Structure formats: C-alpha cells, structure tokens
Structure 1
Amino acid sequence: MGFDLGSFVAALAGDPVLALIVVLTLGATVVNGATDAPNAIATVVGTKAMRPGPAIAMAAVCNFVGLAGITMISSAVAATIFKMVDFGGDNHAALVALAAAMVAIIVWGVVAWYFGIPTSQSHSLIAGITGAAIALQGGLAGVNGAEWMKVVYGLAISTVLGFGTGWLFTRLIKRTCANANRRKANEFFKWAQIISGAGVAILHGAQDGQKFLSLCMLGIMLAMTGQSGGDVTFPFWLVLLVSAVMALGTAVGGKKIIKSVGMNMVKMEQYQGFSACLSACFCIGLATFTGLPVSTTHTKTTAIMGVGAEKSLRNVKWGLAGRMVFTWILTFPGCGLLAFAFTHLFLTFF
C-alpha cells in the first residue's frame, strides 16, 4: 500500500483511530513549536537584537524551512525515533499506546509552558513512547537499547559540548576582537546573532520536527498496513504538513520561554548572544546529521550557561538553571510514567 496523499485521506476518512493519532501527533507538534522553538531565538530577544514579535515570526519561518528542507537531505533523527520502540504485534493495542504517549507528551508540555519552564519536548517524546511501549509489552522488551543509547550520546553532546563550546567561542571572540571599535563590533554581532539565531531555528525544525514526523508516520503505517518495521520513506506531503504545524505553534507561543532563557538566566551582550547561538548551531547540527536526538532547549540553555561562565561563574543564575535541570531530569520518569498510566487506562476503555 502506498502512502500518497489520496490513500492517506481515504484511510483517514474510514478510520477514526488513525484520525485521533494524527490529531494528537500534530497537537504535540504545536506544543513543541510553542515551548521548544522559542529557545532558538531567546538570546536574540534577550540582547535586544530583535523585538519578540519579529523574532518569533523568523523562528516560525525557519522551523518550517528546517524541517521541510533538511529532511529531504537527511532523515537520520526520524529513523532513530522510528526504531526506538516496538509496540508489538497487536495493531489496535499499538495504536492505543501511541495515542496514550501523545496525550502524555501534550499534557507534560502544556503544564511546563504554563509555568514558563523550558522543558524539553524531545525528552518528553522519547519518555512518552518508551513508557507506552513498556506498558504495552509488560517490560523492556519493546525498547530498542541500541537506538535508546543515542539519547544518552545526545545528552552528552547537548550538555558537555554545549557548555564547552559556549565558553570556548566566547573566549575566542573576546580575544580576537579585543582592540575592535566597540560600536562597530556591537553592530556586527547584532546581525551575526540574528543570522545564527535563524540557523538554530532551522536546525530545531529539522531536529525536533523529525521526531514528530516519525511518530506521525508510525501511526499512519500501523493504521494503513498493520506494520511498523523496516526502513521508511517519509512522503513529502507529510513533511510539509508537520512543518506547517510546527511553524504555527512557534507563531502562537513563546514569550514566556524567551523571558526565562534569554533574559533571566544570564545577562548578555551582543557577542555573547552570538556565541550561544553559534554553539547551539554546532551541537544541534552535529547531532542532526548523525541521527542523535538532542533537545534544542537543553543545548541552547547549556550554551548560554557556558557563555556566562566564561566571564564569571557568578554571572549565571544557578538557581534558575538548577530548576531547569531538575525539570529535564524529571521529564524522563515523569512523562514516561504518565504515558505508562495513560496506556493502561486507554487499553481498559478502548
């Protein structure tokens, strides 16, 4: 069976479970656009290089371009997520479990957004599908350990490399521009920061967008063919749909997260904002093209911490940073348990 748009629409009309899966997945994508995407341009706003409105609009466009464009070159992250769990042979139960995972991801993300906490929707997604698979299989048999280890590698990249390159790029720029005219340097780094911030937004679209693209495709394959294994090719119409939905989420949300990350954590100058964006671009780009799922929130925040620590450890508001780290740590068991509980609940009634 093909996955062209006509076949999908026909299947959607006759299968309410598939319709529910698609709506929930796209809903989770909107939440991601509202909660994770603003981190890409948080420093651009925090240093006053751009006003919040135009910056959010830029991020929305770049998210769309990133997912639609980069997926055509490499869908390595989507393939990793697609193979991370196995929902088993019962097609109906697998669809119910996937729906439960999506509900858990949305609930976790909305609560974090409401309180202005930049939690990672990437980590929520991974925790959600893992918790649902464990509930469905009654243990770890449904979890692909080799693919899950890529999450651990991604955490190392976003934490250690994010902090380290943020510190390093700031130090290099300070030494290189030590004798530069301050006014001209600020003007240069203002535009350099806008460009690099757009780059982070593009890579966020590719990284996080591919995760939700993968789950949407998983639901479509389960509903239309009853199978989910093997290699997968993502139809272009689906790529465009998920791209547009993520861009919509970015456009309608984001100011709370921008304030927490770009304005409250570290007080930055233009060159420091550029260093943070450059660090995030490097780390997220490296992970995207090697198939490692990383969090844009996690990567950008640790880069900002590295930038602030370059001058003095006192420049970083470690209390706020600690609250964010606690949220990241809590996400895996918290969202995973939500998905586990929702899976059992949904299977009872459906």
Structure 2
Amino acid sequence: MTPELMIIIFVVILALAFDFINGFHDTANAIATSISTRALTPRSAIVLASSMNFLGALAFTGVAKTIGGKIANPFELDNGMVIVMAALIAAIAWNLITWYYGIPSSSSHALIGSLTGAVIAAAGMGAINGSGFTSIIQALIVSPIAAFIIGFIIMTLLKWIFGRVSSHKVNRGFRSLQVLTAAFQAFSHGTNDAQKAMGIITFALVAGGFQDNLEVALWVKVSAALAMALGTSVGGWKIIKTVGTKIIKMQPINGFSADLGSAVTILTATLLKQPVSTTHVITSSIMGVGAAKKFSAVKWGMAGRIVSAWIITLPITALLAYLSYLLISLFLF
C-alpha cells in the first residue's frame, strides 16, 4: 500500500467521521421543534430524520462541487490530501467542543473555515479563490436573514388566518402537520449538509490524483449519505434542548412555521448550489417566528450566545486548521 493510498483512506475515514458527527450535531436542527411540541416522540423523530436525511443526501451534488472547487483549486495544490486532513481534524474538534457545551454552532462554518485555514497554511492567501470564497460567505450571511424573514412572514400569516380559532384546535391541527414539515426539514438538511462531506472527499481525491474531475463518485454519495443518516440516528440531545426550548416557548403552530421557513431557505440554497449553515437557518427561522408571535417572546440572551458562536466559528476553525497543518507537516515532510 503506497503512502498516498494510506493518506486518502485516512482522509475518507475522517470525512465520514465529520459527516457522522455533523449528523448527530445537527439532528436537533431537523427535529427539535417537533419534539418540543410533542408532535413526534424522540424515537420516531430520529427515525424520520435519519431516513429523510439519507434521501436528501442522495438527491443533489451541486453543493459538493462548490465545496470541492470554489474555495481553492484542488488541481493546483501540492499536499492537497494533507490540507484536507488538517481541515477535517480542526472541524471535527470544533464540532465536538460545541456539541459538548450544547451550542448550536455551524458545521458548515467549521468546515469552510478549516479548509480555508489549511489552504493558507499550505500555499498562502493567494491559493484562496477570492470570488468563490466570497460567494460562499455571502450565502452564509444572507441565508439566516432570509430564514428570519420567511419565518416571520409565515407566522404572521398564520396568526391572521387562525386568530379567531381556539388554540386547542389550532395546536391539534398543526401538531399533525408538523410531521410533514419535520420530514421536509430533514430532507432539505440532507440535500445541503451531507454534500459538504462529499465535496471534501472529492477535493482530496482530485488533489491526490485519484480523480481528474469534480464529479461526485457514487460510492462517495452513498457513504456520505449513510454516515449522515447514522449520525442523525444517534441524536444530539443537548442541542435539541437548546434549539427546541431555549429560544422561544414553542407551540405546534410555531414549530410548523419555523420548520417550513427554514426548509424552504435550505432547499433554495441547495438548488443554487450554495452551502449554508442549517444551524443558522433553522435557529434564525425560530427567532423570526418568535418575533412575529411577540418580540419579547424570543429569549434574546440565548440568541446572542448562539450568534456569538456563529461569529467566532470561522476564525477559530481557520486557526485550528492552520496549526493542524503545520503540526502534521512536521511528521510527514
């Protein structure tokens, strides 16, 4: 077995580990609202989310190609597989830290920040594709704003339509509808998040000379989809508690609105081939719904903690990956 083959095998294992961790780290995103309103039991919610995540992961590849080629050009990088190794180590470390403390930070930000930091460590700032990187950052910024607005609009319309109906009837009806929006949410999550692992594996395959294009191989799609689904089946209860209960007091109509608003935002981003943070999008949609319900209903202190985690993720993971690359280089070069 050649050293190159050993490295690519290790990189693929790391990428699937990241995808698995992403699954249980972000399980909360897809099912927290439906669990908190008792629309679904935790067990049935996780089974539903795992299944729909898997289907969503197999449905598209545009985001994977964006991750694989827009931040940096894998065809032009030396030591590209080591770059990916350092990026994945940093992203996994940050995901585990934020999961441990129950902070719904972004796996997408972690991966993008880490890949950027590792590329800079290996080849300098000039190796970063400025326009591609900027378009990704723009999508990461715009998507939570869009989700907040969409969640606010949906909740406002539903308040106007059902304002005269008894809350008992409204909650009973929307508790059933939440099963559909939870499924839609999980599907959209799979269409975007699982593709990030596919993209990073494809980046490594191209950089290592194992592939001569950015097309996502079938085995990469299936393995990433399975890793995401298995991770989702494990669940991330600390983050479920944060997202489902610590931002607003959730009723079924609120959960329906938040799920629908965020799923529409994520799927739109997927169709535009842009990686977005499902954590940011879903949390922002919940905030928008809470603001439409009553501005003071949003627990803005917790929201501030979450936003702080969003802001620091990119620079911290970039620094971690930069240092990881330098450390790995001491042993390999």
Q: 1: CA distance between counterparts of 2:194 and 2:131?
A: 22
TM-score by length of 2: 0.94
1:125 aligns with 2:111: yes
What are the residue-to-residue correspondences of 1:159-198 with 2, within 5 Å?
159-198=144-183
| Cα displacement (A) at 1:129 | 0.4
Note if contact 2:52-2:190 (Cα within 8 Å) is conserved in structure 1: yes
Q: 2: CA distance between counterparts of 1:56 and 1:226?
A: 35
Q: Deviations over 1:302-323 (max 9, x none)?
A: 0101111112221111111111
Moved more, 19-28 or 155-164: 155-164
After superposition, the Cα gap between the structure-2 partners of 1:306 and 1:321, relative to the gap in structure 1 and judged at 3 Å, is: same
| Cα displacement (A) at 1:52 | 1.5
| Cα displacement (A) at 1:329 | 0.4
1:48 aligns with 2:38: yes
Q: 1: CA distance between counterparts of 2:210 and 2:17?
A: 24
Note if contact 1:38-1:56 (Cα within 8 Å) is conserved in structure 2: no
Q: Which residue of 2 aligns with 1:22?
A: 12
Note if contact 2:34-2:182 (Cα within 8 Å) is conserved in structure 1: yes
Which stretches in structure 2 are left out of the alignment for 5+ residues? none
What are the residue-to-residue correspondences of 1:267-278 with 2, within 5 Å?
267-278=249-260
1:102 aligns with 2:88: yes
Q: 2: CA distance between counterparts of 1:64 and 1:45?
A: 20
- Structure 1 stretches of 4+ with a deviation exceeding 6 A read 11-14
Letter in 2 for 1:275: S
1:326 aligns with 2:311: no
1:149 pairs with 114, 134, 137, which one? Answer: 134
**Matched residue pairs, number?**
331
TM-score by length of 1: 0.90
Q: Percent identity?
A: 37
| Cα displacement (A) at 1:163 | 0.9
Q: Secondary structure, in 3 states, of the residue corresponding to 2:208?
A: helix
Letter in 1 for 2:36: G
1:213 aligns with 2:203: no
**RMSD over equivalenced CA pairs, Å:** 1.8
Letter in 1 for 2:109: H
Q: 2: CA distance between counterparts of 1:90 and 1:47?
A: 49
Which stretches in structure 1 are left out of the alignment for 5+ residues? 1-10
Q: 1: CA distance between counterparts of 2:141 and 2:135?
A: 10
Q: Deviations over 1:184-212 (max 9, x none)?
A: 32222112111111111111111011111
Q: Secondary structure, in 3 states, of the residue corresponding to 1:119?
A: coil
Note if contact 2:144-2:284 (Cα within 8 Å) is conserved in structure 1: yes
1:66 aligns with 2:63: no
